[in-house]
Structure 1
Amino acid sequence: MPKSVKQLINEIDLWKDAYHIRYEPLQGGCTNDTYKVTADEVSYVLRMNDQQNTYLQLDAPWN
């Protein structure tokens, strides 16, 4: 099951100690869901992909 935006934000070490985090979707991604994340007034872009990694077998362990 895909992770939510909130779950991914909570897993990113850079943002673990942020006092205030907000996010909003960005338009235009063809294969990814893209969000503008603002953590303590510094903005970042979070790109989430989902099914194409499984389809392209990019989620398989590298040997």
Structure 2
Amino acid sequence: MVKIEKKVKRVHCTECGYKMPLSYASDAECKGVFAICKGRNCRRPFEIRIENGKQINTKEKTVR
């Protein structure tokens, strides 16, 4: 059996930079996934966009 190792990265809030308790693989791609920041004073919703294994920081304003 061949074991494939992938590096796992954590999602950061695009507003305050808080490291969210969400992970993604180094070859992940997604858009249109929304989360609410768990930072102490932030609590803002933001879109998780990942292209080529890197999180893209979009500063689009979302409605609270």
TM-score when normalising by structure 1 = 0.31
TM-score when normalising by structure 2 = 0.31
Which structure would you say has the larger RCO, counting Cα contacts within 8 Å and 6 or more residues apart? 2
Considering fraction of residues, name the structure with more helix. 1
